[in-house]
Amino acid sequence: MMRIRLSLAVIFAMVVLVTALFIGPEPINPLHIKGIDKEILLSIRLPRVLVSVLMGMGLGASGAVLQGVLRNPLADPYILGLSSGAALMAVVGIISGLTFWGAFTVPLLAFIGALTTGVFVGAMGWKRGGFWPDRLLLAGVGLGFLFSAILMLIMTLSSDEGLRRATLWIFGDLSMTDWAFIPYGTIFILAGLLLSLSRAKALNALILGDELSHSLGFSPRRERLILFISIGLMTSASVSLGGMVGFIGLLIPHIGRFIIGPDSRGLIPLSALGGGVLLCIADLIGRSIIAPVELPAGIITAIIGAPYFLYLLRRRDILGT
């Protein structure tokens, strides 16, 4: 049953991906591609669609894993402070105008910011040879507040023209995506995804509690460390690709649970697919609806995602109790 639903989700995702390529501010007829359309399709739309899917996958899957690891339905990959670290570094990069690596500078800075924060949060949440979920969470929240404050401080003090750009980045903006982003995004997000999938059974056990997972043959400490690394990789890479897109990490896993149930072996891939599809659609709407003005995808994900989520919430019981 799970297999069939997952296969259906994959097919649906492919359809969305192709649709997003050919419709846009100006639809392109796939049977009749003219010169300029080909260029737009290959150099602008394709990398953008791929990045949106990758990013959504990373966020959706890491949300599903994190909610399990922390045993908290309100956990969101951003709660660990990684995104604040990424935003801080990215905004510093945008406003100071650093360009040591061309268009790749800001994503790289964001990635470094997120990973460093991840390591720091991990160190804060580590005690007596293992992670303590509550400590992780509090360390992430505390650090997140600190970084947001520094970020606001920088933005208040600078009136540079980078400011508007920085604001757009914070809301999640995919307009500058380039082929150059794809290889590194794919590597880190797929690595994280495969890592978490390989530990999906252990995650199922962790959700039941430390004692039960011990008796099922999984070491909670070890599993939590591995899963935390996978979350760190996926979240850092996602945020660095296009900024802070909200909603997906928190609510896509819940929508996934309504559809496929709480088993992590199905939930992680479905959350990844769901996140990818939602972000792809959101970006399609964002770049088409009032074209040529583009809306940041992060705004659209929440606007279309939240009502759907609330509708599901009314129909079913969110926590499964």
Alpha carbon distance 5, 11 (integer Å): 10
Euclidean distance between the first and the last CA atom of the chain, given in angstroms as a whole number: 22
Minimum Å distance from CB 276 to another protein? Answer: 21
Site for another protein in 31-60 (CB under 8 A): 36, 39-40, 43-45
Minimum Å distance from CB 297 to another protein? Answer: 12
Q: Which long-range contacts (CB under 8 A, 24 or more apart) does 70-77 make?
A: 70/133, 70/136, 70/137, 71/133, 71/206, 71/207, 71/209, 72/133, 72/137, 73/254, 73/318, 73/319, 74/250, 75/137, 75/250, 76/249, 76/250, 77/231, 77/234, 77/235, 77/238, 77/249
Minimum Å distance from CB 14 to another protein? Answer: 23
Minimum Å distance from CB 159 to another protein? Answer: 4
134 makes contact with another protein (CB under 8 A): no
Instruction: Report which residue type is found at 156.
Output: T
Q: Which is nearer to another protein, 42 or 187 (CB)?
A: 42
List the x/- string, 138-177, binding to another protein by CB under 8 A.
------------------xxxxxx--xx--x----x-xx-
Q: Which is nearer to another protein, 134 or 161 (CB)?
A: 161
C-alpha closest to that of 231 among 130, 51, 81: 81
C-alpha closest to that of 320 among 265, 238, 254, 271: 254
294 makes contact with another protein (CB under 8 A): yes
Minimum Å distance from CB 46 to another protein? Answer: 12
Record the tokens describing residue 271, joined without a space.
Answer: 């959350």
Unique residue bearing structure tokens 């999906």? 200
**Bond before 292 cis per omega within 30 degrees:** yes
Q: Which is nearer to another protein, 263 or 294 (CB)?
A: 294
Looking from the CA of 193 toward its CB, the CA atoms found within 13 Å total 26
Stretch that binds another protein, among 3-11, 141-149, 202-210, 289-297 (CB under 8 A): 289-297
List the x/- string, 181-220, binding to another protein by CB under 8 A.
----------------------------------------
Candidate list 9, 20, 21, 24; residue touching another protein; CB under 8 A: 24
Cα 7 to Cα 2, 147, 266: the distances in Å are 9, 41, 11
Q: Are 245 and 301 in contact (CB under 8 A)?
A: yes
Angle at 90 between CA 41 and CA 227, to 5 degrees: 85
Site for another protein in 233-272 (CB under 8 A): none
Q: Which is nearer to another protein, 26 or 134 (CB)?
A: 26
Candidate list 293, 314, 317, 321; residue touching another protein; CB under 8 A: 293
103 makes contact with another protein (CB under 8 A): yes
Candidate list 71, 178, 190, 229; residue touching another protein; CB under 8 A: 178
Q: What is the dihedral of CA 231, 142, 145, 95, to 10 degrees?
A: -60
Per-residue burial over 33-57, b = 16 or more CB atoms within 10 Å of its CB, e = otherwise: eeeebeebbeeebbbbbbbbbbbbb
Minimum Å distance from CB 130 to another protein? Answer: 42
Minimum Å distance from CB 235 to another protein? Answer: 23
129 makes contact with another protein (CB under 8 A): no
97 makes contact with another protein (CB under 8 A): yes
Binding site for another protein (CB under 8 A): 24-26, 36, 39-40, 43-45, 97, 99, 102-103, 106, 156-161, 164-165, 168, 173, 175-176, 178, 287, 291-294
